[in-house]
Amino acid sequence: MYRVKEVFPTLQGEGAQAGRVAVFCRFSKCNLWTGREADRHRAVCQFCDTDFVGTDGQNGGTFASAGELARHVASFWPTPGQGRPLVVCTGGEPLLQLDEALIEAFHEQGLEVAVETNGTLPAPAGIDWLCVSPKAGAQVVIDVCDELKLVYPQQGASPEDYDGIRARERFLSPMASPYGLAGEDPEKQRNTRLAIDYCLQHPRWRLSVQMHKIVGID
């Protein structure tokens, strides 16, 4: 049984695949926060701005089998038979649920499988693009990935702390205000400047901006 908050087609907004059309599959639940505001102060990860609780989002639900979920996800690819269909498995923490059977079922539907994980759980075989986004205070157990994406700055999680992870690409994503400010976010602007300065000093890191927020898409 797979529990999914929402499924929707959009453009990937961040990192190495930014601008690419993808179907997002947001799994319910995370191992670093319950998702309830009342618990935020005691969560390991405190800056989350995503609703991953339950299955009541757009096209969400519970799916009895890998094949059922894979067919559901594939049905949202906007132009059947065209492009390089991609599913981005996100959350919450997708590796609480994503298993080899589901990866295989996605592949059978012609979908490449990208995953965005906090890196605290082992990744099943077969993932086509693995993006690890470490969180302070949570031990990362994945040591090889395609993309490392660090929200910056994070007390207790410096970019150098992840030098031991082998990644094709390394991105800093400026920390936004935890209060989800609409429009102007001076804190994010400051953090963007800090991230740019860090990249200039450490050019193997690149800046990742949240393109989807800048252009106003989900």
Q: Which residues bind ligand SF4 (CB under 6 A)?
A: 30, 32-33, 45, 48, 50, 52, 91-93, 118, 135
**Residue 201, CA atoms < 13 Å, CB-side half-sphere:** 9
Residue 40 or 71: the one with the smaller Cβ distance to ligand SF4 is 40
| Cβ closest to ligand SF4, residue 36 vs residue 82 | 36
Shortest spacing between CB 91 and ligand SF4, in angstroms:
5
- Which residues carry out catalysis? 24, 30, 45, 48-50, 116, 212
Comparison of 93 and 147: residue with beta carbon closer to ligand SF4: 93
CB of 158 to ligand SF4, least distance (A): 18
In angstroms, give the least distance from the CB of 72 to ligand SF4. 21
Return the number of the residue (60 or 92) whose C-beta is nearest ligand SF4.
Answer: 92
* Least distance in angstroms from the C-beta of 50 to ligand SF4: 5
